[in-house]
């Protein structure tokens, strides 16, 4: 597999959170056709096949993870 280009510039970074599905979508630049790769723990990296540039990240269960983490800290 060829190397991926990961966020060379911080501009045009946008995000959208779907509260019903508890999913956070992060996009780099204008939306475009991409391939998703599940990297585990509810995270999917999206990259453009033509140039190997990462164009987005999807994180599943954001609120659930945050609440679980906060509860664990309170117990400690």
Blockwise average pLDDT, block size 10, the chain, 76 residues: 58 88 91 91 93 92 89 77
pLDDT of residue 72: 81
pLDDT of residue 74: 79
pLDDT of residue 26: 92
* E runs forming strands in 1-76: 13-18, 23-28, 35-40, 43-47, 54-60
pLDDT of residue 59: 95
CB count within 10 Å of CB 56 equals 20
Measured CA to CA, the distance from residue 15 to residue 25 in angstroms comes to 5
pLDDT of residue 70: 87
pLDDT of residue 16: 93
Q: What are the residues whose beta carbons fall under 8 Å from the beta carbon of 73, sequence distance 6 or more?
A: none
Q: Where are the domains of the chain?
A: 16-75
């Amino acid at each position: 597999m060829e190397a991926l280009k990961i966020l060379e510039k911080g501009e045009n970074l946008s995000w959208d959170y779907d509260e019903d599905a508890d999913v956070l979508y992060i996009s780099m630049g204008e939306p475009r056709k991409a391939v998703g790769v599940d990297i585990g723990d509810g995270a999917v990296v999206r990259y453009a096949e033509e140039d190997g540039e990462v164009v987005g990240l999807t994180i599943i269960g954001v609120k659930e993870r945050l609440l679980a983490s906060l509860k664990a800290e309170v117990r400690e």
